[in-house]
Amino acid sequence: MATLELRGVRKTYGTGEVVKGVDLSIKDREFVVFVGPSGCGKSTLLRMIAGLEEISAGELLIDGVRANEIPPDERELAMVFQSYALYPHMTVAGNMGFALKMAGKPKAEIAAKVAQAARILQLEALLDRRPKMLSGGQRQRVAIGRAIVRNPKCFLFDEPLSNLDAALRVQMRTEIAKLHQELEATMVYVTHDQVEAMTMADRIVVLNGGRVEQVGAPLELYRNPASKFVAGFIGSPRMNMLEVAVAGHDGAAVRLTLPGGESLAVPARDALVKTGARVTLGLRPESLNLADDGALRGKVEVVEHLGAEMLVHVRTPQDDLLIIKAPDEARIHPNQTVGIGINPARSCLFGEDGLALILRVDALA
Amino acid sequence: MQRSFLSRLTGLAAWFAALLIAFPIIWMLVTAFKTERAAIAVPPLLIFKPVLGSFAAATAQTGYLSFALNSIIVSLGATLFAVIIAFPAAYAMAFRPGRHTQGLLIWMLSTKMLPPVGALVPVYLIYRDVGLLDTRTGLIILNMLMNLPLVIWMLFSFFKDIPAAILEAALVDGVNTRQQMQHLLLPLAAPGIASTALLSIILAWNESFWSINLTAAHAGTLAAFITRFSQPEGLFWAKLSAASVLAVAPVLLFGSLTQRHLVRGLTFGAVK
Ligand SMILES: Nc1ncnc2c1ncn2[C@@H]1O[C@H](COP(=O)(O)OP(=O)(O)O)[C@@H](O)[C@H]1O
Ligand SMILES: [Mg+2]
């Protein structure tokens, strides 16, 4: 039940600027994920929204009202911390009801709200326990429960799952996504894990060095990364990158010269791609296939069998490493020489400044 | 074999060191049970018939209880006010540090390096003019001010051990600063606050310089009580020892009862 708007938001510590002008508009009930490598300013940005850090420059609007000067306890947001930050001397019920009690809400109302949150989060059996006696996943649930009892305008999550083991992380991921649908609340979620971002977000904000690299729906970012950084960050395994030269234009396509001298035509309508330029060709692992008559050849280094598919790591004679995603089969072995076919339809081109050279029309299709 | 010998040796050394440190106290205790004549015997008597005469003499003339009461009131009062003032100060320094916090902490400790005698004359004159000479209030204020740097430091380091995220979570949840202090900080730091208070009580109890110089008959603490038995002539060692035992016994007892807390406090919260 809240919209957030950031206008040229900056954060300076001493002499260093760690958030360098972020413009972003978050819609009501949207699930927005801030993703980026460690130290890129995600937490700082989230903490500025919460009011825990002062905004050095720019403006934050909550529901259209300037909020820079509103203290955190009056912003009506809720935050879930990476460390859970539970009150160690209170029971689970005490933790969840504390804010309501401090706000002077009647006992019956608090009990009802706590019971409701406990039901949603399956904490009913644990209400009398202290945090010390809970597992990581249960603590995480209590932290979320503490946030939802207040019915806040907006939820802020700072890497809430990074202290959990892999299996629990997957489970909590879907639970938080489900919670988002049930509560119909605006959520801002910070993570360094692109898988979390891809699976949970309505919209992803990719941050790098305190700047927004790209904002978009998960698939949009996957298919149409605005920069080499986003292309490399989103998607696992990473996008393959080849340094190539532009040989010329062929109507709706550009002809590229691959590192080994092979030629490849890539659909591109953009005049930005100048003949003779050195560019980077980005190819997702699924855009490559194993084909004896493929454009490239290379030696298999590693085969990762995933059951339905496999990841084949191939070293080309030019020492480029390519990862190919293909249907799993037993006949591929390390040290074997294979041919690699390229499906150019989903390829990306990046200029020397790292920015995408092709704006794809099919990105959202 | 060799290791057990070595550990026995270090054990022996530890006992020796402990004995050396405790010797004055032990000797004082022994002397207190002697007669005045036995107390100055050379060589010192190790075997003697213990008598309680010195204790009787020490308490009879002087009103030991009123001095003891002053000590209790001054040490508890000074500690109470020091903790009340230090609590919000340490909160601000631990959780809302500013550019000058670190410098302020160092500066506060540095005030402990000023020799008290340097401040004696101005403090004496001020106290005389405002009528605080020989009052418990005056001693409480001085002891409170003297302990404040240490109390702030200790509370600060105990607060530092509490994850800031706990208070931040409460803050975002709409819990105001006073409620955070009362319902989160106070219970979470309670063991640390207790250690700090214990140390402050002991320091105030043992404080003698100001007590001796600023009090007379009315507000004197046990430190002042002891000095009454040191006379320029006559035999007074046994009585002085008995008075000293009476002065330090309560705090020694108190200290040994709360030893566990004190050790925690003195390690400045480093041991969890
Ligand atoms: N209180 C602070 N003082 C100085 N630098 C800070 C402070 N907090 C964070 N930083 C710096 O700001 C940058 C961004 O930090 P943060 O927002 O925590 O990154 P992220 O959450 O993306 O990992 C980091 O380089 C970090 O060192
Ligand atoms: Mg972070």
Residue A361, pLDDT score: 47
Rounded CA separation A43/A23 (Å) = 16
Which of A281, A259, A288, A284 shows the shortest CA–CA distance to A357?
A281
From A18, A48, A52, A81, give the residue whose CB has the most ligand 1 atoms within 8 Å, as the site to mutate: A18
Facing B172 at nearest CB: one of A72, A83, A87: A72
Residue A44 tokens read as: 């700082």
| Interfacial B residues in 72-101 facing A (CB < 8 Å) | none
Instruction: Give tens-digit pLDDT for A214-237.
Output: 999 999 999 999 999 999 999 989
Instruction: Give tens-digit pLDDT for A68-91.
Output: 999 999 999 999 999 999 999 999
Residue B60, pLDDT score: 80
Residue B77 tokens read as: 């009062």
What topology is assigned to A237-350 in CATH? OB fold (Dihydrolipoamide Acetyltransferase, E2P) (2.40.50)
B169 interfaces chain A, CB cutoff of 8 Å = yes
From A42, A44, A54, give the residue whose CB has the most ligand 1 atoms within 8 Å, as the site to mutate: A44
In a domain, residue B24? The reply is no
Facing B188 at nearest CB: one of A50, A89, A103: A89
Which residues, at least 6 apart from A125, have a Cβ–Cβ distance to it below 8 Å?
Answer: none
Nearest 10 degrees: Cα torsion B9, B13, B15, B21? 180
ipTM summary value: 0.87
Residue A360, pLDDT score: 53
The closest-lying atom of ligand 1 relative to the alpha carbon of residue A34 is: 22
Instruction: Give tens-digit pLDDT for A167-209.
Output: 889 999 999 999 999 988 999 999 999 999 999 999 999 999 9
A4-232 matches A237-350 in fold: no
In a domain, residue B19? The reply is no
Rounded CA separation B146/B151 (Å) = 9
Count of other CB atoms within 10 angstroms of residue B78: 28
Instruction: Give tens-digit pLDDT for A323-352.
Output: 999 999 888 999 999 999 999 888 899 988
Instruction: Give tens-digit pLDDT for A248-293.
Output: 888 778 899 999 899 998 887 666 778 888 999 999 999 999 998 8
Q: Which of B173, B184, B188, B272 to mutate to test the interface with A (most CBs of A within 10 A)?
A: B173
Facing A83 at nearest CB: one of B165, B176, B187: B165
Residue of chain A whose Cα is closest to the Cα of B178: A102
pTM of the model: 0.84
Residue of chain A whose Cα is closest to the Cα of B171: A73
Q: Is the pLDDT of residue A119 over 60?
A: yes
Low-confidence ranges of chain B (pLDDT < 70): 1-3, 264-272
| In contact, A278 and A352? CB cutoff 8 Å | yes
In a domain, residue B131? The reply is yes
| In contact, A75 and A50? CB cutoff 8 Å | yes
Residue A251, pLDDT score: 76
| Interfacial A residues in 9-68 facing B (CB < 8 Å) | 50-52
Q: Is A12 in the pocket of ligand 1 (CB under 6 A)?
A: no
Q: Which CATH class is domain A4-232?
A: alpha beta
Residue B133, pLDDT score: 92
Domain span at B167: 63-227
Residue A271, pLDDT score: 61
Number of domains in chain B: 1
Q: Is A205 in the pocket of ligand 1 (CB under 6 A)?
A: no
Rounded CA separation A328/A312 (Å) = 10
User: Which carries the bigger pLDDT value, residue B56 or residue A315?
Assistant: A315
Name the residue ranges covered by the structural domains of chain A: 4-232, 237-350
Residue A154, pLDDT score: 95
Rounded CA separation A182/A166 (Å) = 25
Cβ–Cβ of A87/B163 closer than 8 Å? no
Residue B1, pLDDT score: 55
In a domain, residue B260? The reply is no
Instruction: Give tens-digit pLDDT for A143-170.
Output: 999 999 999 989 999 999 998 999 889 9
**Gap from CA of A206 to ligand 1 centroid (Å):** 16
Which residues, at least 6 apart from B37, have a Cβ–Cβ distance to it below 8 Å?
Answer: B235
Residue A324, pLDDT score: 96
Which of A305, A309, A295 shows the shortest CA–CA distance to A338?
A295
Q: Which of A15, A43, A47, A73 to mutate to test the interface with B (most CBs of B within 10 A)?
A: A73
In a domain, residue B136? The reply is yes
Q: Identity (one letter) of the amino acid at A332?
A: I
Instruction: Please report the DSSP string for A42-111 in residue order.
Output: HHHHHHHHHTSS--SEEEEEETTEE-TTS-GGGS-EEEE-TT----TTS-HHHHHHHHHHHTT--HHHHH
CATH number reported for the structural domain that contains residue B92 in this entry: 1.10.3720.10
In a domain, residue B221? The reply is yes
A190 interfaces chain B, CB cutoff of 8 Å = no
Q: Is the pLDDT of residue A114 over 80?
A: yes
